[in-house]
Amino acid sequence: MTNEIHRHLDGELPAEALAEEDRETVDEWDRMVASFRQSAPHGSAPTWLEQRVMAEVELLPERGVLNRLFAWLVSPAPVRVSPLAAALVAAGVVFVLMLPGPGTAVPEPGASTSSAVEVVYVQFLLNAPAASSVAVAGDFTEWQPSFTLEDLDGDGVWSGRVPVRPGVHGYMFLVDETEWTTDPNAGRYQDDGFGNQNAVLAVGTSS
């Protein structure tokens, strides 16, 4: 198939712009797609689905207190604040910020006083052919899966460059937004305190 055919099938190119040979291919393709659509299986959920799912759900152990606390913490909830209370809190914050500090931090001998933070870009790789998404999270992201890896060529290897500050960091991959996965190719691992192993990444400075 030519690139023009793909663009036409993607709705980006009108049929009139195609060469005669490509139009024949498109006609053939349309017949094939029609066959798929005509014969596609359809059906609604079986009547027993809800009953079986709920029966299985009922058998699951109660969520732990920590899990429920976590869920409560991460679930958005409306907060009502009166304008007066908001103004008082804001004034208090400004007052505290204007107080002189207990002392000025003195840089240690040899430490850089520059405010610029050195960042090293680290290439992360995970072979996950069945995955639909892979993100990386670690203490350098405060364990938020904010960096998404990509599999542009569809070969199942997900990769991406992530800025990391020098130091030793624990990290994990989050596959399909649900499965925390330890990097099988990490050089070092550490216990995360919850029965899993975090991969460990050591990033040195460039100097």
Partner 1 sequence: MMSPVERTDAQVVRDVLSGDRDAYRFLVRRYGSVLQGHALRMTDNPDDAADLVQRAFVKGFKKLASCRDPDRVGPWLFRILANFCKDHVRSPRRSDVSVTMLSGALRGGSDPSSDAEGAEIRTRVWGALDALTPEQKEAFVLKHVEGRTYEEIAAVMDMSVAALKMRVHRAREALKGLLEEYA
Interface with partner 1 by CB under 8 A: which residues? 1, 6, 9-10, 25, 28-29, 31-33, 35-46, 49-50, 52-54, 56-58, 60, 62-63, 67-68, 70-72, 74-77, 129-133, 148, 150-154, 156, 176-178
Which residue, 44 or 114, is less far from partner 1 as judged by CB? 44
Token pair for 111: 């430490």
Cβ 104 to partner 1 shortest distance, Å:
41
Cβ 139 to partner 1 shortest distance, Å:
19
What is the dihedral angle through the alpha carbons of 87, 93, 97, 99, rounded to the nearest 10 degrees?
A: 90
Residue pair 198/174 in contact by the 8 Å Cβ criterion: no
Which residue, 32 or 202, is less far from partner 1 as judged by CB? 32
How far, in Å, CA of 103 to CA of 108, rounded? 15
Nearest to 25 by CA among 45, 5, 43, 39: 5
Which residue, 50 or 191, is less far from partner 1 as judged by CB? 50
Cβ 19 to partner 1 shortest distance, Å:
16
CA-CA distances (angstroms) from residue 92 to 8, 99, 173? Answer: 62, 11, 41
Cβ 155 to partner 1 shortest distance, Å:
10
Which residue, 37 or 80, is less far from partner 1 as judged by CB? 37
Query: Who contacts 97 (Cβ-Cβ below 8 Å, separation ≥6)?
Result: none
Which residue, 40 or 98, is less far from partner 1 as judged by CB? 40
Cβ 204 to partner 1 shortest distance, Å:
32
100: DSSP letter: P
